[in-house]
């Protein structure tokens, strides 16, 4: 009887111990690692683009996002920042964004995707918005 009780207690402890392979939440900061397959600094609109992308980040809370990038103009060497914030919704691995503000040009975000383990977010932004020739940006935790 005591052995059966210990067995049940051991199983309960193991079950409550947590699954270390379960994905973590989306909340946190992701670093921009590439645009259109080019590592940073990138020139995603080459040869016609004016600017290099130097760095970027995408930060999520439970309901909001903040997207920031730093660029350098190839013509005059001026460095500038761009930012956008808003709300997002998540349905499975698809993210949909609603812009509420920002500084600089709007990113015109298309729906994004999240990897199964929540370590990579891929976005399409820029150009004329969703459906146009947008930049594919990859962010990683």
CATH of the domain at 49: 2.40.128
The whole domain housing 77 covers 25-140
Question: pLDDT tier at 46 (50, 70, 90 boundaries)?
Answer: confident
Classify residue 20: in a domain, yes or no. no
How much is the pLDDT for 130?
Answer: 67
Classify residue 37: in a domain, yes or no. yes
Quote the CA–CA distance of 55 and 34 in Å, as a whole number. 9
102 contacts: CB under 8 Å, gap ≥ 6: 67, 82, 83, 84, 85
How much is the pLDDT for 27?
Answer: 95
Total number of domains in the chain: 1
Peptide bond into 41 cis (omega under 30): yes
Classify residue 16: in a domain, yes or no. no
- H/E run at residue 51: strand 51-60
**Predicted TM-score of the model (pTM):** 0.79
Classify residue 18: in a domain, yes or no. no
Classify residue 94: in a domain, yes or no. yes
- H/E run at residue 2: helix 2-16
């Amino acid at each position: 009887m005591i052995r059966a009780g210990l067995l049940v207690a051991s199983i309960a402890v193991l079950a409550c111990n947590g699954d270390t392979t379960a994905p973590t939440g989306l909340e946190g900061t992701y670093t921009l690692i590439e645009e259109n397959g080019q590592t940073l600094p990138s020139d995603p609109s080459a040869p016609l683009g004016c600017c290099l992308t130097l760095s970027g980040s995408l930060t999520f809370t439970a309901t909001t996002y903040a997207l920031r990038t730093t660029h350098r103009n190839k013509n005059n060497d001026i460095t500038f920042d761009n930012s956008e914030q808003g709300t997002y919704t998540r349905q499975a691995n698809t993210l949909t964004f609603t812009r509420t503000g920002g500084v600089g040009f709007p990113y015109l975000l298309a729906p994004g995707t999240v990897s199964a383990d929540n370590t990579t977010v891929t976005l399409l932004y820029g150009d004329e918005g969703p459906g146009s020739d947008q930049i594919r940006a990859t962010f990683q935790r």
